[in-house]
Amino acid sequence: MSPVADPELVLVGVTRRFGEVVALDRLDLTIARGEVVGLLGHNGAGKTTTVRLLAGLLAADGGTVRVGGLDPTVDGATVRRRLGVLPADPVVDRRMTAAQNLAFAADVFGMAEAGLDARIDAALERFGLAGRGDDEVAGFSTGMRQRLSLARVLLPDPEVLLLDEPTAALDPIAARQVRRELAMLAAEEGRTVVVATHDLAEAELLCDRVVVLERGRIVVDGSPAELAAAHGTGGLLLEVAPDQVDIVHRRLSRLAAVRDVEIDAAGRVRARGVPRDEIPGLVWALAAAELAVYEVRRLDPTLEEVYLALHDRAPVRAEAPGTDDGGGG
């Protein structure tokens, strides 16, 4: 990877162990100011550990961690002023009301009193909690606490956001609302966002760069489009004469590489896993069989397909980029 122009978050050769477990193994990761980076990986891959090291909540056993050039374990107070950290478990006080939680956070963040009530109301509204400000958090569902926790993190408008599974506890409607808010934040000039997630659609929506961790090391690093081009096989959509849909479905299903052949609601045949260079031959074979093809469209692979393709492939670990050469990943 080329040197990062304006590095905001830097991990160089970072190792963190928990007893025998090596959670991060000489990890090199540099994130530029304004980048929105998704951290992906199976359970235990090291995503939360990475977030906690950047937030100064953990110390590394080896290597260097820097946030805006500062060591979070040394200059904790200065670093924390720039960071908004959403941990996996919501940080809100159940004995207080929602508004009190935000007012308390504002106090901790040293925010000005003037206009604070309006800011708190706006924050509650933004995360679907309008009208719930005076309710005790003890009576909130997990998803509501998660949304309040996000409102709390964003209240001081931090330059850098570290979000650990921001939508994991949310129902689909709330998750969509939170993703929209995060997408707007992520799109703002100069805001750096790191989001650890298992939700690949979320990563695809929010992130301009995706880093896949495995056993504490980076196995893949690139934009969703780069990953799709390098690792995905994509799909195909065919519109054929209505009385030939079943024949085309059968023909596609027989091809070895092709998966998930289905007829969609519009009566078109969709298939995944079609290698690009097999498409011309396939179209030729259909035409040679005198099947009437009205449309052929290539479907780009989703990040989910890329991720599954990577993990279906046994030697992914062996393909880890050389991270030992000090070359910046």
Ligand X SMILES: Nc1ncnc2c1ncn2[C@@H]1O[C@H](COP(=O)(O)OP(=O)(O)OP(=O)(O)O)[C@@H](O)[C@H]1O
Contact positions toward ligand X, by CB under 6 A?
Answer: 18, 21, 23, 41, 43-49
Output 217 or 231, the one with its CB closest to ligand X.
217
> Minimum distance from CB of 197 to ligand X (Å)?
9
DSSP H or E run through 205 = helix 200-206
CA neighbours closer than 13 Å in the CB half-sphere of residue 149:
26
> Minimum distance from CB of 62 to ligand X (Å)?
15
> Minimum distance from CB of 254 to ligand X (Å)?
38
Output 45 or 129, the one with its CB closest to ligand X.
45
Q: Which residues of 239-273 are buried (b: 16+ CB within 10 A; e: fewer)?
A: bbeeebbeebbebbeebeebeebeeeeeebbbbbb
Q: How far is CA 80 from the centre of its chain?
A: 22
CB 128 within 8 A of CB 148: no
Amino acid at 194: V
> Minimum distance from CB of 18 to ligand X (Å)?
3
- Quote the CA–CA distance of 210 and 196 in Å, as a whole number: 10
Output 211 or 252, the one with its CB closest to ligand X.
211
> Minimum distance from CB of 45 to ligand X (Å)?
4
> Minimum distance from CB of 16 to ligand X (Å)?
8
Output 198 or 259, the one with its CB closest to ligand X.
198
- Quote the CA–CA distance of 158 and 137 in Å, as a whole number: 24
- Quote the CA–CA distance of 48 and 86 in Å, as a whole number: 11
Q: Which residues of 60-78 are buried (b: 16+ CB within 10 A; e: fewer)?
A: beebebbbbeeebeebeee
> Minimum distance from CB of 275 to ligand X (Å)?
31
CB 30 within 8 A of CB 6: no
Output 168 or 245, the one with its CB closest to ligand X.
168
Output 48 or 233, the one with its CB closest to ligand X.
48
Output 48 or 302, the one with its CB closest to ligand X.
48
